Amino acid sequence: MRRADSSTKIWARTVICLGPALTFGCAPLGKDWPLQRGEHMNYGNAEARTVIAPRELHRWELSSATPSHLRHQNRVESFLQDSTIAFCGLITGHNSPPGLWVLFDCLNGRIERKMPGGMFNVAAWGYFKTISPDGRFVVWNHHDMDSIRIEVYHTQLGQVVRRLAWDHDTFSFHWFPDSQRFIANTTSGLYIFDVNARAQDFGPVGKIATRGYFCMIFSADGKRLVTGSLDVTVWDVATGKPLAKSTPVVDDFWRPGPRRPDIFVSPDGEEGVVGDDGYIHVGYDSLAMPDDGRCIVAGANNGRIFVFDASTGAVLAEHREKDGWRNDITSVSMTADGERVLFSTKKGVVRLWEWRSNRIVASFGQEFDLKDHRVGRGRIVKAVFALQGTHAVVARDDGTVALYELVAASGH
């Protein structure tokens, strides 16, 4: 909850150019914008207008060999090659491990490459796996009875090629665009590793920040890192120093409660604790950007999406989902020209948003009750643009992926 007398700075003057990725200003323009509730944002849901009529072309099971009661554990971790190839974990028997990690062709519905999954548990959420952009390496944190290790698996050789004892709590791994380096996102900071280091020398070669983040993306040249948490921050990879930071966004769905000043209440009566600064902040869980780096889209965990001007940090547009305080944005994707945003929500609905006109031009997917926590019913959990933005690929919680064509509706 932002107080009425608070203000934010719009950043400009010193511009960090990230090529096709992201630019942000990092010096104050000299003017504070006083913010009353919602004055700096485009509030209200975007106008709903069916301009695009998504048509499902194919829906594929990731593995028909998986027992039916375990197919919800078959899941997509990430996408490669213009989102037409999915990196997936599959359950192969009646017991969860061992399993298979595969590259799945979302256009033709077939497995392109298999990798044994027994060494890194397919079903366990505590094992974070990430494949490199070129598909050659998979990195994960391996737990056993006595230790935790970081291991790098070579998909073509079919073996672990790098291994390191590791004592940091790790949230996730993120590969540089060159597929030669990756970041371990930990509670104590972001550690950089180089897979080209000799096995005996394998270890962190650099560090950024002193804590972990919810999500992150790289500029196309790998020289800048963008992280999302309570704000969006741009980092210089070479120096490990922050170059720019967006203004934190606060949640005004909540209202002061009647009992205590430090307890706020959501529209449906849920209680939340206010931070030390007196605000309830929004966390960013997903990021995307166009090729030219003019803007960045950030999806928050309260059903809100923001588009920022990459040169000033100003909020250009905002969309709010109904029941936003519970209806998280689960994924965001942006067309190469930055004009359209595709996003999925916790309810399982996918929307196509033209943010400049603030119009929702398409919606698809079955809407689920937010109080229904059952899995395996076909709820969409991830959606990305594919084939230069003409199609979309979605992953569901029942172990299936689907390919949609984004065609113009009749009369448009």
pLDDT reading at 131 higher than 70: yes
Is 156 within 8 Å of 150 (Cβ atoms)? no
Say if residue 329's pLDDT is above 60: yes
Burial 347-377 (b: 16+ CB within 10 A, else e): bbbbbbbbbeebbbbbbbbeebeeeeeeeee
- Residue 39: what pLDDT? 30
**CA dihedral angle for residue 95, residue 96, residue 97, residue 102, rounded to 10 degrees:** 130
* Mean pLDDT (whole number) for 93-117: 78
Q: Which two tokens stand for residue 313?
A: 């940090």
Q: Which two tokens stand for residue 263?
A: 């307890």
- Mean pLDDT value across residues 386-412: 89
Q: Are 51 and 371 in contact (CB under 8 A)?
A: no
Q: What is the pLDDT of residue 278?
A: 67
Map out the domains of the chain with their CATH numbers.
8-28+42-408 (2.130.10.10)
Residue 350: helix, strand or coil by DSSP? strand
- What average pLDDT is seen over the chain? 79
Tell which wins on pLDDT, 98 or 40.
Answer: 98
pLDDT grade, residue 115 (50/70/90)? confident
pLDDT band at 395 (very low <50, low <70, confident <90, very high): very high
- CA 22/CA 334 separation, integer angstroms: 13
Neighbours of 262 (CB within 10 A): 13
Closest by CA position to 89, among listed 401, 347, 403: 401
Q: What is the DSSP letter of 240?
A: T
Grade residue 313 by pLDDT with cuts at 50, 70 and 90. Answer: confident
Q: Which of 154, 208, 202, 163 is nearest to 184 (CA)?
A: 208
Q: How far apart are CA 137 and CA 322, in angstroms?
A: 40
The whole-number pLDDT of residue 193 equals 97
Determine what percent of the chain is predicted with pLDDT higher than 90. Answer: 39
Q: Mention every residue, 6+ apart, whose C-beta is less than 8 A from residue 338.
A: 289, 290, 291, 292, 294, 295
- Hey, is 88 helix, strand or coil? strand
Separation CA 305–CA 165 (nearest Å): 39
> Is pLDDT of 65 > 90?
no
Rounded to two decimals, what is the model's pTM? 0.80
Q: Which two tokens stand for residue 391?
A: 């199609």
- Range of weakest confidence among 111-125, 163-177, 183-197: 111-125
With bands split at pLDDT 50, 70 and 90, how would you rate the model's confidence at 6? very low
pLDDT of residue 147: 73
Structure tokens at 213: 């983040």
3-state DSSP assignment of residue 73: helix
Least confident of 261-270, 278-287, 322-331, 357-366: 261-270
Let me know: does 344 contact 382? Beta carbons within 8 Å.
yes
